[in-house]
Amino acid sequence: MIRIAKAELSDLNLLREIAVGTFSESFSDQNSEDDMQFYLEQNLSLDKLEREISDTFSVFYLGYHNAVAVAYLKLNFDKSQIETHKVDSLEIERIYVLKEYKGRGIGKQLLGKAVEIAKNAKLKNICLGVWEKNTEAIAFYRKHGFREIGQHVFMLGNDAQNDLLMQLDLP
């Protein structure tokens, strides 16, 4: 089990550290150094994360294992959603776990937190985008009931990549 806590503005440096660390671990082997650096500077800078954490339609959670942050989750509601912009949907924009902690059920617990929040808000579904080459993540989402509903382009630096859009319908 991990402890999941809502990230506050005071957690900004820790959030950036875990965001940059998990993204780099997940994708640096499959992408150019220039594209990775550009993405990290543009999307995971302190300024950008501060704007995101201050957005009333977004929320971040940190996952702690023995008081060490090892994962995080970013959820978007309503007009802060990247794709759907539906008031009856929750978007998981980011869900990442440090490599050495994968396989311990931490991603499942973070996903469970998202489902709990969506159900408590009486939302109809949860949507997300996942890189088509991230087969491990796609299998994880399918295992937990997500289905493919479309595609979109995700820019990683100058590289236009294809993301699968997936959705989990809630009872």
Determine the pLDDT at residue 83. 67
**Which of 39, 61, 72, 141 is an active site residue?**
141
Q: Domain limits at 53?
A: 3-123
Helix (H, G, I), strand (E, B) or coil at 96: strand
Q: What is the DSSP string of the chain?
A: --EEEE--GGGHHHHHHHHHHHHHHHHGGGS-HHHHHHHHHHHSSHHHHHHHHH-TTEEEEEEEETTEEEEEEEEEEGGG-SS---TTEEEEEEEEE-GGGTTSSHHHHHHHHHHHHHHHTT-SEEEEEEETT-HHHHHHHHHTT-EEEEEEEEEETTEEEEEEEEEEE--
Residue at 37 is within a domain: yes
Residue where the block lists tokens 């994880």? 140
Residue at 10 is within a domain: yes
Q: Quick check: pTM over 0.85?
A: yes
Residue at 159 is within a domain: no
pLDDT tens, residue order, the chain (171 aa): 799 999 999 999 999 999 999 999 999 999 999 999 999 999 999 999 999 999 999 999 999 999 999 999 999 998 778 766 667 899 999 999 999 999 999 999 999 999 999 999 999 999 999 999 999 999 999 999 999 999 999 999 999 999 999 999 999
Determine the pLDDT at residue 105. 95
Residue at 138 is within a domain: no
Determine the pLDDT at residue 80. 77
Q: Kindly state the tokens that stand for 79.
A: 């007009």
Residue at 25 is within a domain: yes
User: How many other C-beta atoms can be found within 10 angstroms of the C-beta atom of residue 118?
Assistant: 22
Provide the β-strand partners of residue 74: 60, 94
CATH number at residue 34: 3.40.630.30
Residue at 45 is within a domain: yes
Q: Kindly state the tokens that stand for 89.
A: 């949907």
Residue at 60 is within a domain: yes
Is the CB of residue 94 less than 8 Å from the CB of residue 110?
no
96 is catalytic: no
Number of structural domains in the chain = 1
